[in-house]
Copies of this chain bind each other. A is one copy, B any other.
């Protein structure tokens, strides 16, 4: 089996506990999760298996985009956070996405290093077509810019 993944990995000069806070505290999440100039107007997360995850983005000249409810699957403090858009809170399946859209699971791991931690974000898809669509949407640039914002924010905590 192949997981049709896209992966972003980079060093962050902050402790895993600081990065974990940025991943799981709504007020911190809002500050880095969307790549500038996109901003986050609403962030909700209950970092426990079955907990809900939701962000609303504000895209310049386009307005608000509600990502809808996803579901937290694993939450191992300062180590690993997994959530998916295939399910909503309490593990309830979400309706299938519309044409040209796709679901994915985000599998984020933090590994302590001498200078902070390595942040690895993997996006898992159901098919190669979904993976390609996510890549064409700008996965590497978008998640890369967001990861830089995460690194800057975590370093201030």
- A: residues with CB less than 8 A from B are 1, 3-4, 49-50, 69, 73-74, 82, 84, 86-96, 103-105, 107, 124-127, 130
**How many copies are assembled?**
2
Contact residue among B1, B74, B93 (Cβ-Cβ distance under 8 Å from A105): B93
Query: SS class of chain A's interface: helix, strand, loop or mixed?
Result: loop
User: Taking each of A4, A74, A92, which has the highest tally of chain B beta carbons within 10 Å of its own beta carbon?
Assistant: A92
Question: A94 CA to B83 CA in the complex, in Å?
Answer: 15
Q: Given A49-B73, A90-B107, 15 other A-B contacts at CB below 8 A?
A: A1-B69, A1-B88, A1-B89, A1-B92, A3-B92, A73-B91, A84-B91, A86-B93, A91-B107, A91-B124, A93-B103, A93-B104, A93-B124, A93-B125, A95-B127
